[in-house]
Amino acid sequence: MKRTHHCNELRPSHIGQIVTLTGWVHSRRDLGGLIFIDIRDREGRTQTVFDPSDLPKELFEKAAALRSECVVSITGKVRQRPAGTNNSKIPTGEVEVMTQSLEVLNMAEPLPFQIDDPEAAAKVAEETRLQYRYLDLRRPEMARNLKLRSKVAIATRQFMDEQGFLEVETPTLFKSTPEGAREFLVPNRREPGTFYALPQSPQQFKQILMVGGIEKYFQLARCYRDEDLRADRQPEFTQVDIEMSFIEREDIYNLIEGLLQRVWKTALGMDIPTPFKRLRFEEALNRYGIDKPDTRFGMELVDFTEEFKASTFKVFSGAIANGGVVKALNAKGLASATQGQIETMTEYAKSFGAKGLAFIKVENGEWKSPIVKFFSDAEKAALTSKLKIEEGDLILFAADQWLNACEILGKIRLYCADVLKGQGKLTIDPNRFDFLWVVDFPLLGFDREQSRWYSSHHPFTAPVAEDISFLKTDPKRVRGQHYDVVVNGVELGGGSIRIHQPEVQKTVFEDVLQISPEETKLRFGYMLDAFKYGAPPHGGIALGFDRLIAILCNTPSIRDVIAFPKTAKGVDLMTDSPTTVSSKQLRELYLEVKAQKKE
RNA sequence: GGGGGUGUAGCUCAAUUGGUUAGAGCGCUGCCCUGUCACGGCAGAGGUUACGGGUUCGAGCCCCGCCACUCCCGCCA
């Protein structure tokens, strides 16, 4: 049965050889007196021919009984196809295998969906594809995605090894750490009422590894977060997790730029330029209204706070008087926006707490807008020159506190780009990758509801050295040594230089985050202990591996690059998990289910 | 938790304003076919219109509820 070649291997140079191919019946073309069967494996497909004139009747009938996706082993002689019958669509299209023997390894029932026609298969509902994932995975597109994923994983390991990193595995049965994402819990049979938690990331272990003298660690780590899902979020996902000792931010930038260079070369054969651009958090917000800007198109935000400070238009001047700003963006060529599109954008603005959305449509040489009558000539002139206003443009405004105004227009900028793409007025080269680092994030944010500070990244992020003195006096002003790597508006990963002095870490936990000393000891005591015994300065980063692969495969959903993903409600449609468990299992774990069963 | 979209044959989709027996392509079954490659031809089977109610003389279509999938907001240190 052993195959001699795979199904994408035979070429004219093989003519005359006796070969054995194994694989699936991709398609069968039964001409009555002559049968063609395309046999397919992971690598490709090859045409085999059944000619009754030199085959036993029984064998020919066996071939006639085959249907799509039966598993077969076919032995025969490779020959040149007759003149004029070459198939230029497939690489093996110059030759065919004259069958001498056929072994049916397994029959196949009619399929729930067809997988031989790529166009039809791509349209099948994802629900059906996930239920029969083993069939879906046979499609060349899915096979390509998994192959690319494997290649990138191996390239990553190779690169990290070359750079002197050790791959270290960390536990997936971890301790519950209530900060951050909701965790999956695992009940402990040995002690009633105690639980492990699955790690949201190996963050604490990798820092401890630095204290353990590993110096350079990496891992393709599985992480678990029990939060609501999105196209780019699964309950379990993979990170390229990295940590290094005796380094500064620049070392991480260098390393990751090299890694991504290697990955892009391996996966796409592309040379990406380094170093990547750097954008301070503040600048990213000012220009793009988001901390992960897509810089493949312009439409940048422009500030008009000075120009409207004394405006008679109170919505603007009032916002400024309250310490806010006025910002605008020019959606080039979008004056044709429909009522519905303006409505959608207004909803965005309102969801950020704005009262409405001011806009100007520039049509027929006229500014059509409910607010333009309030503008002075000087204000109009400023708008025209700073926004480079031309016929057909749509100008959108936000007047609010700085962060809010930026974020509103950031959201609207992306929406406008989508609309313009749909109208063909904006095209982006699919082979363009705009990498950049976003740096100088604020270390802390303020939660108005709970009236306390929280870590904008995580509590182990080191403050920028010259800002440490403001930790207690002016927390807002403290910048973190945190960095995000962004490509085409997607956050690929992020990390930071960590705190390695126990006193600074204690200050952050107790004075800034207001976690009580007892609580700190309970949750992070072992880390503070570890830091007492000679912790090297260290830092690291984690890249979203699934997102990385999705970008390389040019697919919007990470489900397309995960072999067995879950639905938006966390269900595996193939195995139908999660399920209830027996009362015996529950008893063993000292658990009782109190929720009412759904009918 | 909230908002939007989708759900009709195994698959992909139609079905005018609420109006006859819910159609087509692919797949499936049977027959024919010796150079096809999405083979072709003829014939046929296949439907709880996701599910449960309601309005109506009459519902795939309207209303209410509910389920699944999906996109987004919240959430994701």
pLDDT in tens, A315-347: 999 999 999 999 999 999 899 888 778 888 888
Q: Which amino acid is at A61?
A: E
Give, in order, the Cα–Cα distances in Å from A551 to each of A10, A201, A213, A257: 33, 22, 35, 16
Distance A566 CA to B4 C1' (A): 22
**pLDDT value at residue A598:** 41
Domains and CATH numbers, chain A: 12-106 (2.40.50.140), 140-277+485-496+538-593 (3.30.930.10), 297-422 (3.30.1360.30), 442-479+501-534 (no CATH)
Distance CA A238, CA A236 (A): 7
Whether A337 and A344 have beta carbons less than 8 Å apart is answered as no
Q: What is the phi/psi pair of residue A552, to 5°?
A: -65, -30
Mark residues 2-31 of chain A whose C-beta is closer than 7 A to nucleic acid strand B.
27, 29-31
Q: What angle do CA A40, A45, A50 make, to 5 degrees?
A: 85
Given 3-state DSSP classes, what are the helix, strand and coil percentages for chain A, each rounded to the nearest 5?
Answer: 35, 25, 40
Nearest nucleotide, CA A83 to C1': B35
Asked if strand B contacts A111 at the CB level, meaning under 7 A, the answer is yes
Asked if strand B contacts A351 at the CB level, meaning under 7 A, the answer is yes
- Residue A171, classed as helix, strand or coil, is coil
Mark residues 222-261 of chain A whose C-beta is closer than 7 A to nucleic acid strand B.
225, 227-233
Q: What is the pLDDT of residues A495-552, one digit of tens each?
A: 999 999 888 998 898 889 888 899 888 888 899 999 999 999 999 999 999 999 999 9
**pLDDT value at residue A599:** 34
Distance CA A212, CA A432 (A): 41
A326 beta partners: A399
Distance CA A259, CA A271 (A): 12
Distance A138 CA to B50 C1' (A): 28
Distance CA A80, CA A541 (A): 55
Distance CA A532, CA A470 (A): 24
| Residue whose pair of structure tokens reads 């690319």 in the numeric block | A148
Q: What is the phi/psi pair of residue A445, to 5°?
A: -120, 165
> Which residue has its C-alpha nearest to nucleotide B32's C1'?
A32
Distance A125 CA to B64 C1' (A): 28
HSE of A41, CA atoms in CB hemisphere, 13 A: 17
Q: What angle do CA A567, A569, A572 make, to 5 degrees?
A: 45
Mark residues 60-79 of chain A whose C-beta is closer than 7 A to nucleic acid strand B.
67-68
Give, in order, the Cα–Cα distances in Å from A361 to each of A1, A309, A311, A366, A426: 71, 23, 20, 8, 18
pTM: predicted TM-score of the whole model, two decimal places: 0.94
Q: What is the mean pLDDT of chain A?
A: 93
Distance CA A224, CA A387 (A): 45
DSSP secondary structure code for residue A396 in this structure: E
Asked if strand B contacts A117 at the CB level, meaning under 7 A, the answer is yes
> Which residue has its C-alpha nearest to nucleotide B25's C1'?
A120
CA atoms A104, A109, A110, A112: torsion sign: negative
Distance CA A180, CA A456 (A): 10
DSSP secondary structure of A63-83: HHT--TT-EEEEEEEEEEPPT
Distance A591 CA to B11 C1' (A): 44
Whether A111 and A24 have beta carbons less than 8 Å apart is answered as no
Asked if strand B contacts A573 at the CB level, meaning under 7 A, the answer is yes
Rg (chain A; Cα; Å): 30
Asked if strand B contacts A116 at the CB level, meaning under 7 A, the answer is yes
> Which residue has its C-alpha nearest to nucleotide B41's C1'?
A31
**pLDDT value at residue A1:** 65
Mark residues 528-567 of chain A whose C-beta is closer than 7 A to nucleic acid strand B.
557, 559, 567
Asked if strand B contacts A114 at the CB level, meaning under 7 A, the answer is yes
Distance CA A174, CA A187 (A): 12
Under-50 pLDDT residues of chain A: 597-599
Asked if strand B contacts A53 at the CB level, meaning under 7 A, the answer is yes
Asked if strand B contacts A52 at the CB level, meaning under 7 A, the answer is yes
HSE of A568, CA atoms in CB hemisphere, 13 A: 5
Asked if strand B contacts A201 at the CB level, meaning under 7 A, the answer is yes
| Residue whose pair of structure tokens reads 């199904």 in the numeric block | A7
A454 beta partners: A445
Distance A59 CA to B46 C1' (A): 32
Distance A344 CA to B52 C1' (A): 34
Q: What is the phi/psi pair of residue A572, to 5°?
A: -95, 105
Distance A70 CA to B43 C1' (A): 27
Asked if strand B contacts A38 at the CB level, meaning under 7 A, the answer is yes
DSSP secondary structure code for residue A54 in this structure: G
Phi/psi-derived region of residue A71, left when phi > 0, alpha when psi is between -120 and 50, beta in every other case: beta
**pLDDT value at residue A596:** 58
Distance CA A410, CA A283 (A): 12
Q: Which amino acid is at A413?
A: R
B chain positions with any atom within 7 Å of a protein CB: 1, 10-13, 25-29, 32-40, 67-77
**Peptide linkage before A275 cis (omega within 30 of 0):** yes
Tokens of A236: 């379990």
Helix (H) or strand (E) holding A197: strand A195-197
Mark residues 418-477 of chain A whose C-beta is closer than 7 A to nucleic acid strand B.
454-459
Helix (H) or strand (E) holding A28: strand A18-30
Nearest nucleotide, CA A33 to C1': B34
| Residue whose pair of structure tokens reads 């405004």 in the numeric block | A397
Asked if strand B contacts A129 at the CB level, meaning under 7 A, the answer is no
